[in-house]
Amino acid sequence: MAKLRNPIGWFEIHVSDMERASRFYSAVFQQTLSPLPPPEPQVEIRMLSGDMTMHGANGALVKHPMKKPSTQGVLVYFSCEDCETQQALALENGGKVLKSKFSIGNKGFIAIIGDSEGNAIGLHSMQ
């Protein structure tokens, strides 16, 4: 039997303004974003720093003419030491708090923030 893995292997967060979004994600999550080759000329992709061989999923910001940022649909959660830190950084960097940090019992804490582009993003921490 194959070893169980987390089911998510990649995610994309759609953005309208790549420079603004890159600044937001770099500041809030202390991430370095690297350009990836686009599948077509009008698409722009910047991958979040991470190790594709490690636990969890990695992904990228994507500016695509047929995709729009939204608070509807899938919600991606970023792992944090403490959700409150990223919640405060989001406010300082053009985002907003949609739902302040709250307990989910023995699974830790979560918060929901709005990014600079109008997406809802989840935060998860054990403290």
Long-range contacts of residues 16-20, Cβ cutoff 8 Å, at least 24 apart:
16/63, 16/68, 16/69, 16/117, 16/118, 17/63, 17/116, 17/117, 18/44, 18/46, 18/61, 18/63, 20/94, 20/116, 20/117
Beta-carbon contacts of 20 under 8 Å, excluding residues fewer than 6 positions away, are 94, 116, 117
10-125 sits in which CATH class? alpha beta
Which pLDDT score, from 0 to 100, does residue 56 have?
Answer: 80
Residue by residue, pLDDT tens for the chain (127 residues) are 566 667 777 899 999 999 999 999 999 999 899 999 999 999 999 999 887 777 788 889 999 999 999 999 889 999 999 999 999 999 999 999 999 999 999 999 999 999 999 999 999 999 9
Instruction: State if pTM tops 0.85.
Output: yes
